[in-house]
């Protein structure tokens, strides 16, 4: 029985078919300021007022060495942004050491450019409400290691394509003012991160959200609906090193990197697809929620509950202690599906074991090795997990699981979901955390199913992302 159809809107598919260099010209309005040289662009920015839209003609613009396109002391409003936009998406190509350099500005939108510069672009802490949208980022591969560095509050990075990096460095870094604070309320939405092929052991993340010295600071960032393909520059495609963040509805496909809560507390990892790559989800720190994720065909570790070199990070520790691993405490890991991975649910062997973690209502299916291979733990709660396949159960407590065929059926989107008559339907029992819906967007209701999928005959509202769903031409 096939219970779902993989739907994609015809408008989205048609939009994705338009070449980047010719897609969607800007419609004219009275607030438009057309420019066709760097001098005209700088003059228009200097004179800009709220609501102005500066339209840059297609062409290649090389910023002279030591120069920049300065956006300084310019403030739009939430209702009337100052917008700087390429006439067609990707049509205005910016080369040289730098392109836009911002300072003391707010409510600025920069859209549609092809960035080919060699030094880091920064949204500094003295700016706020900056939007970078529908741009194409491919910096000089021998230039600065970071491409886009965000320190500004209330900003948005959406519908961009970051791609083709072979050296160490990071596509998108989020920091903050000073040495311990984080930029607040950043939204990272519908971006396409692809083809980071740095082969080193560390230092090639797609996104790094914080750094060890900022780990205890709350960022309240939301990273959602992004696609990562061939994110091979680091075992961490999304590296979280700050607190109170949401990582949801992303797809990581055919990538070495996974989602790692490396430092920080109280983050939520929800509804992500990690398919056909290497690493899955790994967590350290306290009070995280890991819910509704689908981890399939991973060649390394699918879900790791980390041990630590310290029990808890604290403000009084040394810099070296802060770089260490913080044992995972009080995480709730519920309603996830782990399917056909080489390493399913596992632990580690550092000095401080994870403690007081809940692992409930997860579906774990595999044919190799052990489905559960935890190191030392303290105070774990195991409840109504379902195991299946030729792999051994491993060291999961017998009272924390059942073994039954979940009767999975693979849909046209490649996702295996419950079919009618599955023993997982209605079998979830953990009530300590409210889970409103499943990975597809179906309501859980009062009687919940085991795993990431809640059985339904309706078409999925969410699905693994493709290139048509993200990047400069996404809806």
In sequence order, what E strands does 40-127 have?
53-56, 59-63, 69-72, 82-86, 92-96, 100-103, 106-111, 113-117, 121-123
Report the pLDDT value the prediction gives residue 24, as an integer from 0 to 100.
60
Report the pLDDT value the prediction gives residue 18, as an integer from 0 to 100.
36
Report the pLDDT value the prediction gives residue 2, as an integer from 0 to 100.
35
Cβ neighbours around 294 below 10 Å, total: 24
Distance (Å, rounded) from C-alpha 281 to C-alpha 262?
A: 10
Q: pTM score, two decimals?
A: 0.94
- 3-state class (DSSP) for residue 43: helix
Report the pLDDT value the prediction gives residue 26, as an integer from 0 to 100.
73
Distance (Å, rounded) from C-alpha 282 to C-alpha 294?
A: 14
Rounded to the nearest 5 percent, the helix, strand and coil shares of the chain are 5, 40, 55
CB contact set of 468 (below 8 Å; sequence gap of 6+): 8, 12, 13, 15, 16, 474
Closest CA to 346 of 327, 371, 329, 309: 371
Distance (Å, rounded) from C-alpha 273 to C-alpha 253?
A: 8
* CA distance readout (Å), 278 to 293, 344, 366: 15, 12, 15
Report the pLDDT value the prediction gives residue 5, as an integer from 0 to 100.
39
pLDDT digits (tens, 9 = 90+) for 317-330: 998 899 999 999 99
CB contact set of 251 (below 8 Å; sequence gap of 6+): 226, 227, 228, 272, 273, 274, 275, 464, 465
Average pLDDT score, the chain: 94
Question: Which structural domains are found in the chain, ordered by start?
Answer: 20-400+464-469 (2.160.20.10)
Distance (Å, rounded) from C-alpha 233 to C-alpha 199?
A: 6
Report the pLDDT value the prediction gives residue 239, as an integer from 0 to 100.
98
Report the pLDDT value the prediction gives residue 30, as an integer from 0 to 100.
67
Taking 70 as the pLDDT cut, the residues of the chain under it are 1-24, 30
Distance (Å, rounded) from C-alpha 3 to C-alpha 168?
A: 44
Report the pLDDT value the prediction gives residue 11, as an integer from 0 to 100.
35
Distance (Å, rounded) from C-alpha 45 to C-alpha 40?
A: 9
Distance (Å, rounded) from C-alpha 394 to C-alpha 372?
A: 5
pLDDT digits (tens, 9 = 90+) for 211-233: 999 999 999 999 999 999 999 99
Report the pLDDT value the prediction gives residue 8, as an integer from 0 to 100.
34
Report the pLDDT value the prediction gives residue 81, as an integer from 0 to 100.
98
H or E element: which one contains 169? none
């Amino acid at each position: 029985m096939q219970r779902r159809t993989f739907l994609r809107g015809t408008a989205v598919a048609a939009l994705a078919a338009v070449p980047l260099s010719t897609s969607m010209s800007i419609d004219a309005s009275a607030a438009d300021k057309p420019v066709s040289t760097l001098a005209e662009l700088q003059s228009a920015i200097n004179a800009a007022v709220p609501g102005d839209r500066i339209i840059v003609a297609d062409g290649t613009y090389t910023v002279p060495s030591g120069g920049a396109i300065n956006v300084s002391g310019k403030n739009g409003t939430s209702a009337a942004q100052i917008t700087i936009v390429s006439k067609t998406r990707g049509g205005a190509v910016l080369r040289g050491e730098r392109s836009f350099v911002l300072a003391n500005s707010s409510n600025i939108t920069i859209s549609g450019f092809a960035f080919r510069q060699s030094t880091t672009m920064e949204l500094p802490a003295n700016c706020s409400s900056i939007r970078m949208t529908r741009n194409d980022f491919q910096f000089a591969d021998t230039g600065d290691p970071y491409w886009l560095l965000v320190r500004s509050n209330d900003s948005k990075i959406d519908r961009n394509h970051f791609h083709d990096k072979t050296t160490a460095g990071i596509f998108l870094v989020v920091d903050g003012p000073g040495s311990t604070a984080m930029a607040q309320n950043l939204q990272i939405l519908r971006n396409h991160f692809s083809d980071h092929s740095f082969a080193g052991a560390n230092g090639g993340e797609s996104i790094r959200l914080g750094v060890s010295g900022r780990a205890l600071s709350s960022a309240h960032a939301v990273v959602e609906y992004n696609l990562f393909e061939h994110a091979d520059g680091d075992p961490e495609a999304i590296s979280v090193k700050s607190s109170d963040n949401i990582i949801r509805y992303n797809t990581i496909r055919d990538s070495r990197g996974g989602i790692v809560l490396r430092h920080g507390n109280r983050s939520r990892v929800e509804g992500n697809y990690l398919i056909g790559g290497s690493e899955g989800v790994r967590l350290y720190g306290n009070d995280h929620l890991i819910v509704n994720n689908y981890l399939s065909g991973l060649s390394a570790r699918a879900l790791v509950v980390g041990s630590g070199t310290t029990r808890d990070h604290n403000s009084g520790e040394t810099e070296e202690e802060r770089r260490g691993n913080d044992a995972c405490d009080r995480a709730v890991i519920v309603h996830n599906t782990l399917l056909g991975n080489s390493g399913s649910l596992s632990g580690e062997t550092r000095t401080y074991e994870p403690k007081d973690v809940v692992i409930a209502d997860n579906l774990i299916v595999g044919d190799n090795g052990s489905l559960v291979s935890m190191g030392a733990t303290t105070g774990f709660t195991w409840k109504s997990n379902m195991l299946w396949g030729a792999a051994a159960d491993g060291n999961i407590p017998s009272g924390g699981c059942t073994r039954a065929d979940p009767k999975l059926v693979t849909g046209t989107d490649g996702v295996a979901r419950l079919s009618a008559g599955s023993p997982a339907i209605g079998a979830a029992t953990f009530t300590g955390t409210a889970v409103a819906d499943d990975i597809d967007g179906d309501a859980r209701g009062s009687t919940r199913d085991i795993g990431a999928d809640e059985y339904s005959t309706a078409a999925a509202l969410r699905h693994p992302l493709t290139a048509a769903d993200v990047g400069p031409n996404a809806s």
